[in-house]
Amino acid sequence: MQKLAVYTLGFLQVPYIRKILRISGWKVSAGPLAFKASAVGVWGRKPLSKRGIKAAGRRGLLLLSIEDAFLRSVLPGPKSAPAGLILDEVGIFFDASQPSRLENILNFETLDDENLLTRAHDGIAFLRHSGLSKYNPVPRGRASGLTPGYVLVVDQTRGDASITCGGAFDHTFATMLAKAQADHPEKQIVIRTHPAVGPRAKQGHYEVSDLDSRTTFLDARINPWDLLEGAAAVYCVTSQLGFEAILAGHKPVVFGLPFYAGWGLTNDQQKCDRRTRALSVEQLFAAAMLRYPTWVDLSSNRLCSFEQAAQGLLARARQHWQNEAPTVAVGMRNWKRPQMSRFLRKPRFENDPVKAARIAGSQAARVVVWASQNSFELQTACANQGVPLWQMEDGFLRSRGLGAALTPAESVVVDDLGIYYNPLGPSRLEKLIEASVNLPDVAMKRAEALVELTTKARLSKYNLTLPALRLNIPAGQRVILVPGQVEDDASIRFGAGEVCTNLGLLKAARAANPEAYIIYKPHPDVEAGLRIGVVENAAEIADLVANNAAILPLIDAAHEIWTMTSLTGFEALLRGKDVTCLGLPFYAGWGLTQDLGPASKRRISKPSLAGLAHATLIDYPLYLDPTTGQPCAPELLVERLESGVGKRRWRLKILSKIQGRFASYAHLWR
């Protein structure tokens, strides 16, 4: 661990900066007290940085310039920890008056490694598809009111160090606007104001007097990728939006000397004599995003790859996007509420549906109801108030332990259209599965990798620690697994067809497969005596009744799964098994299963298994890291569930023990 001398309080006052630096091998110490320091740290080129720069020269120490990475956080500000930092011992990327480590990478490294360029290609596609930028308050797809084909002129805040360090001045912005107007006399000119500009915030470089009949301000909240994809041309000074314009396929007209200028990818109005090399878009990205920043996983206190950092940032952004409006939560049991507050960002909990809708209407809020507690009364009340009604349920990689045993969920789904297990109407998951046929290759690769990660980790929804049965299956006999379900479960009530009981399912499987070796696996909640669905004569129909047995070894042993609507069917699909459905679960009707139950006219798309997995495990749920309680990517939750790391709340553990003793009274707390 090297000692880093600092001369501004920000390094000492903001915990995450010290934490990231410590993970990176630097121990932060106040400058005058930092004896035997290896370097002096300064933040960018702010006025206060002059202290550290002078101290480094005076003490003959290395100067380490520190800045936010190009993917930072959901929102700006010191309360939001960045996904990574720039640690530059040569200069700093936005100061064109001297080289930086990034410029040296771009100038002198070969950047032609096939794996590196593949990662760069996929990284660009990931950012473009997910809509990630430096700050991420707005998702893709939000209407801007603009007609595509406009010319985008990017403003910046006055006094931004990147402007002067990039060889530009305040009057450069006037020159840029004039050139954009002259170059495109027939097009609409859109000036993108900086998000930090406002009446009580920072100033930009343009005034109302700069506007005319075809020149307008755009200060609406819009995702940068949507903005760039609608533009016919892009003009900028040193803004990071110029870099993203290159990634979006533009050759922006650049009036300063940002790090991305001078490599043959921009129309440069200035020249940096040090930059003479021609690079591809992938090489620029590889240097700026894969090689230059220090990416960090703060949940695990470790350095990480760009891909992991981007996935984690997307998880945090998605939870923010889903919680932009205040929430009134209905139908949430008391024991669930602390965890649901983390997913829903401090909702107000109410039991009375009419009161909940009235409060939501007065606060421009939404109502989120636990799906099984949805009611006609609540739907009517929300409709009368003009309030959006969302439904919530457990996710598909839920926890280590049953919900019936009061184990908090580490993943949930929050659906604005319906709920995934009710095929009588559309759901957001159904829309995502339908759209998955158009996902980019990088999304398919991620889904395939997540499926492999999940299956290798031997994970399912609840991940119970149960013994694997010793199976004595006759050689050459086809094995069929029939997973039992909770018979009053909503997925049965809405999604089952003529066969709607475990006994009926078992009989149907036997009738269609008289010679097969059938294994019947009762549902864990039914075995625990907490829910209904016992099949008294199961042993007379099935060859084996797998009581209190782990489900995954049974899936492994089976050639086929017969189910009504069980999630086991989805888990079997992920493991390459044939699945026959007598109901209409979310994964049926897409051409991936043999369907003997009701059909849906809406399900006409033909997604791949990877597309189904991406919709179900990546796009639809929200995840929390069991160790920090913060939003996380599914890949991190898989790691946590595999290792068993997490916090088990002792109060719920005691309550679940009491519950087990009084299982016949479960209706009192469920």
**What digits encode the pLDDT tens for the residues 502-518?**
999 999 999 999 999 99
What pLDDT score does 399 carry? 86
pLDDT of residue 143: 84
Average confidence (pLDDT) over 110-138:
97
Amino acid at 404: A
Distance, CA of 30 to CA of 12 (rounded, Å): 8
Give 62-75 as a 3 state SS string. Answer: EEEEEEECCCCECC
Cα 390 to chain centroid distance, Å, stands at: 19
Residue-wise pLDDT tens digits, 38-70:
999 999 998 889 999 999 999 999 999 999 999
| CA atoms in the 13 A half-sphere facing the CB of 6 | 23
* 171-216: pLDDT as tens digits: 999 999 999 999 999 999 999 998 888 766 789 999 999 999 999 9
Query: Is there a contact between 528 and 660 (Cβ–Cβ < 8 Å)?
Result: yes
DSSP assigned state of 200: T
277, 106 contact by CB (below 8 A): yes
Which pLDDT belongs to residue 300? Answer: 85
pLDDT at 669 over 50: no
* Count of other CB atoms within 10 angstroms of residue 665: 10
Reported residue count of the chain is: 670
CA distance 141 to 323: 16
Q: Is the pLDDT of residue 666 over 70?
A: no
What's the average model confidence in pLDDT over 304-325?
A: 96
**pLDDT value at 658 more than 70:** no
- Give tens-digit pLDDT for 329-360: 999 999 999 999 999 989 999 999 999 999 99
Q: Give which of 369, 300, 378 is closest to 340, Cα–Cα.
A: 369
User: Residue 463's pLDDT is what?
Assistant: 81
Question: What number is the average pLDDT over the span 364-390?
Answer: 97
582-616 in b/e burial notation, b at 16+ Cβ within 10 A? bbbbbbbbbebbebbbbebeebebebbbbbbbbbb
- Residue 665: pLDDT band (50, 70, 90) is low
Host H or E run for residue 446: helix 441-456
Q: Could you write out the DSSP letters of every residue in 115-150?
A: HHHHHHHHHHHHHHHHT--SB-SS-TT----PPSSE
Residue 278 CB-density burial (10 A; 0-12 exposed, 13-18 middle, 19+ buried): exposed
Predicted local distance difference test score (pLDDT) of residue 650: 47
Residue 232 has pLDDT above 70, yes or no: yes
Backbone conformation region of residue 150, classed left if phi is above 0, alpha if psi is from -120 to 50, else beta: beta
Per-residue pLDDT reduced to its tens digit, 244-298: 999 999 999 999 999 999 999 999 999 999 999 999 999 999 999 999 999 999 8
The DSSP H or E segment spanning 595 is strand 594-595
pLDDT band at 652 (very low <50, low <70, confident <90, very high): very low
Q: Domains plus CATH for the chain?
A: 2-106 (3.40.50), 113-123+134-291 (3.40.50), 461-620 (3.40.50)
